[in-house]
Amino acid sequence: MTSILILNGPNLNLLGTRQPEVYGSTTLADIESACRGKAEDMGVALDFQQSNHEGVLIDAIHTAKGRHDGIILNAGALTHTSIAIMDAINSVELPVIELHLSNIHARESFRHKSWIAPVALGQICGFGAHGYSLAIDALAAHFGKT
């Protein structure tokens, strides 16, 4: 069975209450529930992790090799600062979808640069919580499961 790690970074534990005008009112638990339902219908296993700490995210990426077939990563603001996360992705050689709830290209200029994009299979941004469903579809298509 195809297995996907959905990895969420800093401040995503606050979804639903943090800047709902930017990130929406859907909680991380709501997103996980919707993803589980979708994945079950597709015959895909999901594992979820969230951390506010860069090193924990890097450890999760490392641990994914051999356990998961791909990663959906919403690294939050670390997208724009963490060469270490980019290096971790490059090291494990797993397909990664970079995901953002908001359209990072329509926001502050510092959010336009992604260190993850050069090593990602693709990037999904601006579709709110629905982006997670799109990312599952994208990885499933990559694995030929559609």
Mind telling me the catalytic residues?
A: 23, 100
Residue 136, sorted as left (phi over 0), alpha (psi -120 to 50) or beta, turns out to be: alpha
Residues in the chain: 146
Count of beta carbons in the 10 Å neighbourhood of residue 20: 11
DSSP 110: G
Nearest to 82 by CA among 64, 98, 66: 98
Q: How many C-alpha atoms does 92 have within 13 Å on its Cβ side?
A: 23
